[in-house]
């Protein structure tokens, strides 16, 4: 199949010369060792869901269920990256991006009996080899939500056995790809997998039960803990970590009740994941918020979960303003007159800085951090072959400034990955919401650099010339 590579030939076009993106001269972002990259996920870009022995995933099932995904969209084709990966790597390299965070599709690399699927594994071997040829640092996430459907049929993340099957999967991939991966991430956003997948049903597999959410979370974190020593044994030179999404909660008033509500928001959004990883315990405030939902925890589980990390990936998008619900929790109170993205999320870069500096104070053993996702969706329109995504440019500049402020405050942050390299399947929102710095015409699969991509490329070229 022909690939359109025209977008990578000249990544900096004349209309990008008036540059509202470049950081100040004293910014930490000019450091040569601060990694700047972009991220994607397998189900969101690969397509080819029936090819070369790939098995069905929970997102294949969920997106094919009427009413679950906007406009009935599915990931069956997505960005057709499975066939266009060489051109996509050239696109990434042409922008000068130094790192690429991708995920492996678990259903693509092994069958239900655990037998390796050579065609699927070879796809990732070729992809990683090409990235290495281009000098791009590779961050590989093992689980970005696409659980094999056959495991969900046996209980999914409600079944403790799934954690052990994940360790088997991690073992296979780290043996096969050892030396090709700079950093392994076990899970992407276990909060979303547990809460959106099993707590409120917004994501696959679409279950909605509070006790399900906390038990699924425990098994997700257990899977992470079981995988870490396997990754260390099989690929000792790589970094090992996990990726958590975090949310800033602010109170609607100075009242004690509203302040408590904001605290509880951050407990369920942040501490629910980070406390087990970094303290070896669940926050008890969580079960004040959700009484009667304590998961079944076996002896030794928390020690397994809290195995030391080489890095912590942080995904941040927005803050939520809350008030007391008059009982044991909180309710969202949207603020008026604030900037929002196409998702309806408030643009609040200070929240990222505040959370990062707060984590430094809260967790004595906080590992080095990579911002593994940050970006925004906008209704980007292609006009005369160009996409002028001015809100995204402003968003990225302000959030990178917030990262710089956190570094100045003493937080060890080693890099930043834009979400996303290109427009893609945005889960329950289908293809309507565009997060990419590269525009994708889904009818033709043509990639077009947005102005944000041009300015990122310009900055990286200037930084390279300085060092």
Active site residues: 189, 373
- Provide the CB-side half-sphere exposure for 415 (13 A, CA): 23
Estimate to the nearest angstrom the gap between the alpha carbon of 405 and the chain centroid: 22
Ligand-binding site membership of 412 (annotated): no
Residue 155, by phi and psi: left (phi above 0), alpha (psi -120 to 50) or beta? left
Ligand-binding site membership of 317 (annotated): yes
Quick check: bond before 70 cis, omega within 30?
no
Ligand-binding site membership of 150 (annotated): no
Structure token digits, residue 175: 């043996």
Ligand-binding site membership of 315 (annotated): no
Ligand-binding site membership of 85 (annotated): no
Ligand-binding site membership of 144 (annotated): yes
Cβ atoms of residues 40 and 422 within 8 Å: yes
What DSSP assignment string belongs to 77-130? STT-HHHHHHHHHHHHHHTT--EEEEE--HHHHB-TT--B-HHHHHHHHHHHHH
Distance CA 418, CA 373 (A): 6
What DSSP assignment string belongs to 9-69? S-SS-GGG-S-S-PPPTT-GGG-TTSEEEEE--HHHH---TTSTTPPPBHHHHHHTSTTSS
Sign of CA pseudo-dihedral 353, 426, 148, 179: negative
Distance CA 375, CA 356 (A): 17
What DSSP assignment string belongs to 217-233? HHHHHHHHHHHHHHHHH
Distance CA 298, CA 294 (A): 12
Ligand-binding site membership of 191 (annotated): no
Cβ atoms of residues 458 and 13 within 8 Å: no
Which residues are documented as binding site for substrate?
44, 144, 188, 317, 419, 426-427
Binding residues: 44, 144, 188, 317, 419, 426-427
């Amino acid at each position: 199949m022909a690939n359109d590579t025209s977008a990578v030939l000249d990544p900096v076009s004349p209309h990008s010369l008036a540059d509202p993106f470049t950081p100040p001269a004293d910014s930490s972002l000019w450091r040569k060792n601060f990694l700047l990259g972009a991220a994607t996920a397998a189900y969101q870009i690969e397509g080819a869901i029936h090819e070369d022995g790939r098995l069905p995933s929970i997102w294949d099932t969920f997106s094919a269920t009427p009413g679950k995904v906007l406009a009935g969209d599915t990931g069956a084709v997505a960005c057709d990256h499975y066939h266009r990966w060489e051109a996509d790597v050239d696109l990434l390299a042409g922008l000068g991006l130094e790192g690429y965070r991708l995920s492996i599709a678990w259903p693509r690399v092994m069958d239900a009996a655990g037998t390796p699927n050579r065609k699927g594994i070879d796809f990732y071997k070729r992809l990683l080899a090409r990235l290495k040829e281009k000098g791009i640092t590779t961050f590989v996430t093992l689980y970005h939500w696409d659980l094999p459907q056959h495991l969900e049929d046996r209980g999914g993340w409600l079944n403790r056995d799934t954690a052990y099957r994940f360790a088997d999967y991690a073992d296979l991939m780290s043996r096969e790809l050892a030396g090709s991966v700079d950093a392994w991430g076990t899970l992407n956003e276990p909060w979303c997998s547990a809460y959106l997948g099993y707590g409120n049903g917004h994501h696959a597999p679409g279950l909605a039960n509070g006790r399900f959410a906390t038990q699924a979370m425990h098994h997700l974190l257990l899977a992470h803990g079981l995988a870490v020593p396997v990754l260390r044994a099989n690929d000792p030179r790589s970094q090992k970590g996990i990726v958590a999404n975090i949310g800033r909660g602010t109170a609607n008033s100075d009242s004690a009740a509203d302040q408590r509500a904001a605290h509880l928001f951050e407990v369920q959004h942040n501490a629910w994941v980070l406390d087990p990883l970094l303290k070896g315990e669940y926050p008890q405030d969580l079960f004040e918020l959700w009484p009667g939902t304590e998961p079944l925890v076996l002896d030794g589980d928390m020690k397994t979960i809290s195995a030391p990390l080489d890095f912590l990936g942080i995904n941040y998008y927005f803050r939520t303003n809350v008030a007391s619900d008059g009982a044991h929790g909180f309710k969202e109170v949207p603020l008026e007159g604030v900037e929002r993205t196409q998702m309806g999320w408030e643009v609040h870069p200070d929240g990222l800085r505040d959370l990062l500096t707060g984590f430094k104070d809260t967790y004595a053993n906080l590992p080095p951090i990579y911002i593994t996702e940050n970006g925004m969706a906008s209704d980007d329109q292609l006009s005369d072959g160009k996409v002028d995504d001015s809100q995204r440019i402003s968003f990225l500049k302000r959030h990178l400034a917030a990262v710089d402020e956190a570094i100045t405050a003493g937080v060890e942050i080693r890099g930043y990955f834009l979400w996303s390299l290109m427009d893609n399947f945005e889960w329950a929102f289908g293809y309507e919401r565009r997060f990419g710095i590269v525009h994708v015409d889904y009818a033709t699969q043509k990639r077009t650099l947005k102005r944000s991509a041009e300015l990122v490329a310009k900055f990286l070229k200037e930084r390279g010339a300085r060092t």
